Amino acid sequence: MHEGALMNLNEATLLNNVRLRYGRDAIYTYVANILLAVNPYKDMRQLYSSEVIKKYQGKSLGTLPPHVFAIADKAFRDMKVLKQSQSVVVSGESGAGKTESTKYILRYLCKSWGSAAGEIEARILQANPILESFGNAKTTRNNNSSRFGKFIEIHFNDRMSVVGGYISHYLLERSRIVGQSREERNYHIFYQICAGAPDSLRKQLRLSSPDHFQYTRLGCTQYFADKESKQSMNADRQSADHRKKGPLSDPNLDDAKDFARLDKALATIGLGEKQRLDIYTTVAAVLHLGNVAFEDNPEDRKGGCMVSPSSEQSLATAAALLGVDPDELNQALLARVMQTSKGGAKGTVIMVPLKTHEAHSARDALAKGIYSRLFDYIVSVINQSIPFSSSSYYIGVLDIAGFEYFTVNSFEQFCINYCNEKLQQFFNQRILRDEQELYEREGLGVKKISYVDNQDAIDLIETKGGILYLLDEESKLPRPSAVHFTQSVHSGCGGSFRLALPRKSKLRDHREIRDDEGFLVRHFAGAVCYQTDKFLEKNNDALHGSLEGLIHESRNSFLQGLFASQAATNGKAPARGKLALGSVGSKFKQQLSDLMDKLNSTGTNFIRCIKPNPKMVDRLFEGGQILSQLQCSGMTTVLQLMQQGYPSRAPFNELYAMYKKYLPKELARLDPRLFCKLLLRALGLNEHDFKFGMTKLFFRPGKFAEFDQIMKSDPENLAALVARVRKWLVVSRWKKAIWCAYSVIKLRKQDPVKGLQSTLTQMADMVSKMKKDREASAKHVQQLQVSFETVVKKIRSKPLTQPQVSRRPPGQGVGNSPERRNFGLF
């Protein structure tokens, strides 16, 4: 067994083993078929070189040290052998290494089986830096945190070569576009464009430094830069903070250089200069739009507001970049269109002036709407650049945020934790429920392990009458309110064990939240208290009618396209300002359901990423936090099951079918189960390491190498194993023949014959002296004498026949089971 594969499992041994290995830079460990990956927080380039890729190709899991490449290779081999698409679910908290692991898997698959795809391979690999520019940001937990989830499919044709890919994305964090906490940043692209755009482009888009823009000013305004970029960067690109404190440092990030890389990557996926400029213009428009400020209008008797005189220039620039008239933009930001539904002039359009804070919200909604549609567009362009027409199977990699809980938890955490409930249920079903049911069906006699079913938590969120439903219902009311929504959650779902009032929280901060300001959900990984004040707003990504109208009349065809494609994909025109396109929550629910369908129809591999410390430094192993990550991810329950389970298995039929082509006649006539028995015997495997079920062959944890050895479907391996079986057969026949000869020789010379004869003579003597039943007993003895003589004569005249010998082979005792009987065939 390889040291990276644990056999005696409990929380303590697992933690200790992971710690010891981490100390030796062995960041990967297997628990059954699940890969644990501890973030090393240091450059481990040698671990992922082209040579290492080659080394892992086609190698059985467990023959080489645990590695993310081994999981990718296993997924590929399972796809090929089982003829079924595969998925790899990568999970872990922010900064644990999910995205890095995902990238290594994609690289492994593309480098190993993508060379025939030519440009497609390069495009698939280029997709990541593009997605990271627009969807990643510096947070306190990760300098390069993905603020969206993704499922990346790599498609293969029937010859198992890469033919294309497809990316689905989930829940881009929209609130970040308009503000971040002090130490965090907006999406990388905003800094990359300020740091790295050529002077002419900067001038054209009126870009300066991040502290000149409201949407970046309040967070961290420093750039990531290496030594070279630090020296070459002009002062007018830098924020005051950057000048004072110097750049941020991360070996993987450099804003100026990353802009150049992004531009190149966009070109690689097929975007021309004009299209790239459209994208950069949209990014700049969002920045300028954020600088449009409002203040109360003393002349407006209806309490309306106006654009602050100091930001009129920003309004003009934003309008120019968006291709709209500045006055119209002004109008659309200051008032909301409403159609009267009652009264004499039903349907009359009226303009409702907005208060200052409402105008700010309208501006932010427009910025968020534009940016999130830009992100959708970027993903769709990537997808168009990696099309496939002849996909037979795919390997999908899911990289989505893990369970989250902070001091303040809002709609984003609610959605992400909902998603994690679904993934946990999937994990429980795949690893725990299905597994135990299978053991039972196959009669393996494995003890039952209990685990908590979280269906009630999912029901609380997604069923009719559940939290998401109540949220949508609230939005449809004439005057939706957070307080009313919260009350309806408590009154409507109060019966669920999973729901509680904030004051039931163990945390003081949460106990201070009023009953109508939030609710607490008891998730599988712990209780989280959600504050509901922004739920309604965040659940609705539709724009006010006047802003929608403005965009539709824009001269900027690119911008129009961004909004039009959304309407087109939904098949109907949006009803302005309402939840006509579906709320964010209900869309996410549908996306999750599609994702679960996909996961359920594929073979699954799990990678659990572990963050070793919150300081993001190497060589620091914080045991307590790591243990809680292992517990949260359900690993500890898996340990109990795996301790007595059989994680690797293959149906006899499939194994047999795989080998059939290579079998000589005498083996080909075997039934599949018997063939498998023979195969394992020929390989000399230990009987404790595997078990025969009703239809499948099972292997104990840690026996991947042995299992994979027989599952490797390449012709050389199959032929080599068949040769071993044949050799074993010849040897065992030879042994049997020797035994046979030996037994005959022994019988011929044996005293037992004489001994038996003298016993019979003694018996006859005794019977002749009997008074009672003498005749009958004498007859019995006589019969015995006759049959004894016949047998002795037979043995002496010819050796035992093969079936007779086979029934009693050396060291095997007398077998009565069907297999043992069948074994006599040889």
Ligand X SMILES: Nc1ncnc2c1ncn2[C@@H]1O[C@H](COP(=O)(O)OP(=O)(O)OP(=O)(O)O)[C@@H](O)[C@H]1O
The first and second tokens of residue 87, run together, are 């998925």
Reported as type and span, the H/E element at residue 500 is: strand 499-500
Rounded Cα gap, residues 546 and 525, in angstroms? 43
Residue 166: CB minimum distance to ligand X, A: 20
Contact region for ligand X (CB under 6 A) — 36-44, 425-433, 591-599, 754-762?
A: 36-44
Rounded Cα gap, residues 7 and 194, in angstroms? 53
Q: Which one, 496 or 613, has the nearer CB to ligand X?
A: 613
717 binds ligand X (CB under 6 A): no
**Is position 92 annotated in a ligand binding site?**
yes
49 counts as catalytic: no
Site for ligand X in 399-418 (CB under 6 A): 401
Residue 177: CB minimum distance to ligand X, A: 17
Select from 98, 105, 106 the least CA-distant residue to 136: 98
96 binds ligand X (CB under 6 A): yes
Q: Which one, 65 or 549, has the nearer CB to ligand X?
A: 65
173 binds ligand X (CB under 6 A): no
Q: Which one, 105 or 335, has the nearer CB to ligand X?
A: 105
Q: Are 224 and 247 in contact (CB under 8 A)?
A: yes
Q: Which one, 70 or 366, has the nearer CB to ligand X?
A: 70
129 binds ligand X (CB under 6 A): no
Interface residue with ligand X among 161, 252, 570, 600 (CB under 6 A) is 252
Q: Which one, 37 or 256, has the nearer CB to ligand X?
A: 37
Interface residue with ligand X among 112, 126, 128, 142 (CB under 6 A) is 142
Residue 808: CB minimum distance to ligand X, A: 58
95 binds ligand X (CB under 6 A): yes
Q: Which residue has the tokens 């991040």?
A: 210
Interface residue with ligand X among 28, 30, 41, 187 (CB under 6 A) is 41
Identify the three-state secondary structure at position 207.
Answer: coil
Other residues' Cβ atoms within 10 Å of the Cβ of residue 319? 22
601 counts as catalytic: no
Rounded Cα gap, residues 281 and 415, in angstroms? 31
97 binds ligand X (CB under 6 A): yes
**Is position 97 annotated in a ligand binding site?**
yes
The pairing of strands 335-339 and 349-353 is antiparallel
145 counts as catalytic: yes
For 114, 467, 469, 577, the CA distances from 535, given in Å and listed in that order, are 44, 11, 12, 16
420 binds ligand X (CB under 6 A): no
Cα dihedral angle (29, 31, 34, 35), rounded to 10 degrees?
Answer: -10
Q: Which one, 142 or 554, has the nearer CB to ligand X?
A: 142
Contact region for ligand X (CB under 6 A) — 93-101, 403-411, 487-495, 586-594?
A: 93-101
Contact region for ligand X (CB under 6 A) — 138-146, 444-452, 522-530, 600-608?
A: 138-146
Amino acid at 787: S
Contact region for ligand X (CB under 6 A) — 33-41, 105-113, 543-551, 620-628?
A: 33-41
The first and second tokens of residue 773, run together, are 């039943």
Interface residue with ligand X among 29, 39, 424, 602 (CB under 6 A) is 39
Interface residue with ligand X among 87, 99, 486, 531 (CB under 6 A) is 99
- The interface mask with ligand X, positions 356-395, x = CB under 6 A, is ----------------------------------------
3-state helix, strand, coil in the chain (%, to 5): 55, 10, 30
Residue 153: CB minimum distance to ligand X, A: 18
Size of the site for ligand X (CB under 6 A): 19
Q: Enumerate residues 6+ apart whose C-beta is below 8 A from 297.
A: 304, 305, 306
The pairing of strands 86-91 and 603-610 is parallel
The pairing of strands 86-91 and 648-651 is unpaired
Select from 251, 88, 119 the least CA-distant residue to 602: 88
Identify the three-state secondary structure at position 90.
Answer: strand
647 binds ligand X (CB under 6 A): no
The first and second tokens of residue 681, run together, are 């015997």
Q: What's the N-to-C CA distance of the chain in angstroms?
A: 32
Residue 185: CB minimum distance to ligand X, A: 13
Rounded Cα gap, residues 777 and 764, in angstroms? 9
Rounded Cα gap, residues 335 and 356, in angstroms? 11
Select from 415, 208, 385, 227 the least CA-distant residue to 313: 208
Interface residue with ligand X among 98, 237, 360, 649 (CB under 6 A) is 98
Radius of gyration from C-alpha coordinates of the chain = 36
For 165, list phi and psi in degrees, rounded to 5: -155, 170
817 counts as catalytic: no
Contact region for ligand X (CB under 6 A) — 95-103, 661-669, 683-691, 770-778?
A: 95-103
Q: Which one, 27 or 468, has the nearer CB to ligand X?
A: 27
44 binds ligand X (CB under 6 A): yes
Q: Are 509 and 523 in contact (CB under 8 A)?
A: no
Contact region for ligand X (CB under 6 A) — 39-47, 218-226, 521-529, 660-668?
A: 39-47
Interface residue with ligand X among 94, 392, 625, 743 (CB under 6 A) is 94
**Is position 94 annotated in a ligand binding site?**
yes
Of the candidates 11, 58, 63, 94, the residue annotated as catalytic is 94
Residue 142: CB minimum distance to ligand X, A: 4
146 counts as catalytic: yes
Beta bridge partners of 155: 164, 394
Beta bridge partners of 296: 305
Site for ligand X in 599-618 (CB under 6 A): 609
Of the candidates 146, 486, 717, 732, the residue annotated as catalytic is 146
Interface residue with ligand X among 62, 66, 92, 502 (CB under 6 A) is 92
Q: Are 91 and 606 in contact (CB under 8 A)?
A: yes
Strands (E) across 696-805 are located at: 696-699
Of the candidates 85, 102, 112, 142, the residue annotated as catalytic is 142
Reported as type and span, the H/E element at residue 607 is: strand 603-610
Q: What is the DSSP letter of 125?
A: H
Residue 539: CB minimum distance to ligand X, A: 23
The first and second tokens of residue 524, run together, are 């599988």
Q: Which one, 38 or 680, has the nearer CB to ligand X?
A: 38
95 counts as catalytic: yes
Specify the length of the chain in residues.
Answer: 826
810 binds ligand X (CB under 6 A): no
Rounded Cα gap, residues 147 and 180, in angstroms? 12
131 binds ligand X (CB under 6 A): no
99 counts as catalytic: yes
Rounded Cα gap, residues 310 and 314, in angstroms? 9
140 binds ligand X (CB under 6 A): no
Beta bridge partners of 497: none
Other residues' Cβ atoms within 10 Å of the Cβ of residue 569? 10
Residue 141: CB minimum distance to ligand X, A: 6
DSSP string, 680-714: HHHTT--GGGEEE-SSEEEE-TT-HHHHHHHH--S
Q: Which one, 100 or 472, has the nearer CB to ligand X?
A: 100
49 binds ligand X (CB under 6 A): no
Of the candidates 404, 462, 474, 548, the residue annotated as catalytic is 404
40 binds ligand X (CB under 6 A): yes
Cα dihedral angle (569, 133, 91, 697), rounded to 10 degrees?
Answer: 70
Contact region for ligand X (CB under 6 A) — 92-100, 514-522, 572-580, 637-645?
A: 92-100
402 counts as catalytic: yes
Contact region for ligand X (CB under 6 A) — 143-151, 342-350, 516-524, 734-742?
A: 143-151
Site for ligand X in 177-236 (CB under 6 A): none
User: Which residues sit in the known binding site?
Assistant: 92-99
User: Which residues sit in the known binding site for ATP?
Assistant: 92-99
Catalytic residues: 94-95, 99, 142, 145-146, 402, 404
Binding site for ligand X (CB under 6 A): 39-41, 44, 92, 94-100, 142, 144-146, 252, 401, 609
